[in-house]
Amino acid sequence: MSITITNINARDIRFPTSATLDGSDAVNIDPDYSATYVILETDSPQRLRGYGLAFTNGRGNEVCVAAVQALKHHVLGRTLESLTENFGAFWNEIASDSQVRWLGPEKGVIHLATAALVNAVWDLYAKTAGKPLWKLLVDMTAEQIVACIPFRHITDALTPADATEILKRNEATKAAREQQILSSGYPAYTTSAGWLGYSDEKVRALVRAGLAQGWTHFKMKVGRDLDDDVRRARLIREEIGPARKLMMDANQVWDVDQAIDWMKELAAFDPHWIEEPTSPDDVLGHAKIARAIAPIGVATGEHCQNRVVFKQLLQANAISFCQIDSCRLGGVNEVLAVFVHMRVEWDSANTFSISRFSITSRSALHLRTESSSTWIICTNISSFRW
């Protein structure tokens, strides 16, 4: 039975995290973790609702709420089926709104709003199917997945035919990969200990607590002061020992050559990756950094605006770790585009991905079921390793 979206509520939700400097780093010095929270109401007898959000940093969240209002006519009053039966076409419709598109295009505030709306439709879609979203995606055929993907502006790297072929090739092992994820879970790291605003004592205590909880991968923030970073990296490396992994995150604070110079100093602490070493818009800059600091990997994506930038990062061998944010990109559809393209460019080993669907996922664990599902769809999990 078809259900209709009868109302769209966009809420401005904020948490005063700046009070304790949780989430603080070299660029985001006083974040108030916030969300533009979208609720789709329906006429379903079970009162099903669809939820989606865009993560923001506090001030300006109201601008994102206004963008949801400017785009919601693409969803309001329509049946769920009319949106999902050709999900890729619906995605193009909302991302290419003939007047609102000018404000991006496909980037920034309107793309965050697109993500919140699109992911709310996905949530509703999964609920009507009686499955979690990851399972809805995993159970799709290759053709169904390809119909969800926006291919515009990426067909020089990935065509619908390419995507179908990759997905079909991996179908034989999909059930086994699903079982493996269900039984052994998905690798993850903790950032809880490494926020830049914390004292050395607090960092040490939190690293020890993380070790006691069984964490093996720890991420620290860097980039405000080199001496400070060296001291904190030494502290964390002492605590976690040589075998566990230490990742670093500069949150875009450096220029290209500065990133290279700084990482040569921090290489002594055996970082697994440097995340966001410079502007998220700088494909050529990331490629230059990657060449200069290998074998330290370059990671980015949290602020990468859309599939066109990810396409280039992969084409230019600019990153070793791909950190997709499902509410920075325009929702699940665009995430699928990047995942499948990643599978074309890379052996599935040595890749990593982030999907953020819930504000509560940020502090300790970036990974959510959605990345697991796309992983199961697109890759051979047995070759996944840290």
Instruction: Tell me which residues touch a copy of itself (CB under 8 A).
Output: 27-32, 55-60, 62-64, 66-67, 70, 96-112, 152-156, 252, 255-258, 278-285, 288, 303, 305-306, 308-309, 311-312, 315-316
| In the complex, least distance from residue 254 CB atom to a copy of itself, rounded to whole angstroms | 9
Relative to beta strand 321-322, strand 297-300 is parallel
Mind giving me the DSSP string for 313-372?
A: HHHTT--SEE---TTTTTSHHHHHHHHHHHHHHS-STT--------GGGTTT----HHHH
265/281 with CB nearer a copy of itself? 281
180/363 with CB nearer a copy of itself? 363
Separation of alpha carbons 238 and 217, rounded Å: 14
Q: Compute φ and ψ for 244, nearest 5 degrees.
A: -75, 160
| In the complex, least distance from residue 56 CB atom to a copy of itself, rounded to whole angstroms | 6
| In the complex, least distance from residue 96 CB atom to a copy of itself, rounded to whole angstroms | 7
| In the complex, least distance from residue 9 CB atom to a copy of itself, rounded to whole angstroms | 18
111/217 with CB nearer a copy of itself? 111
220/309 with CB nearer a copy of itself? 309
Q: Compute φ and ψ for 126, nearest 5 degrees.
A: -65, -40
153/234 with CB nearer a copy of itself? 153
Residue whose structure tokens are 């309001």: 76
Separation of alpha carbons 188 and 217, rounded Å: 7
103/140 with CB nearer a copy of itself? 103
| In the complex, least distance from residue 275 CB atom to a copy of itself, rounded to whole angstroms | 15
Q: Side chain identity at 269, as an amino acid letter?
A: F
| In the complex, least distance from residue 130 CB atom to a copy of itself, rounded to whole angstroms | 35
Separation of alpha carbons 301 and 291, rounded Å: 18
Separation of alpha carbons 147 and 90, rounded Å: 10
Separation of alpha carbons 213 and 24, rounded Å: 23
Mind giving me the DSSP string for 225-262?
A: -HHHHHHHHHHHHHHHTTTSEEEEE-TT-S-HHHHHHH
22/30 with CB nearer a copy of itself? 30
Q: Is 20 helix (H, G, I), strand (E, B) or coil?
A: coil
| In the complex, least distance from residue 153 CB atom to a copy of itself, rounded to whole angstroms | 4
Determine which helix (DSSP H) or strand (DSSP E) holds 170, and give its type and residue range. Answer: none
| In the complex, least distance from residue 181 CB atom to a copy of itself, rounded to whole angstroms | 31
13/316 with CB nearer a copy of itself? 316
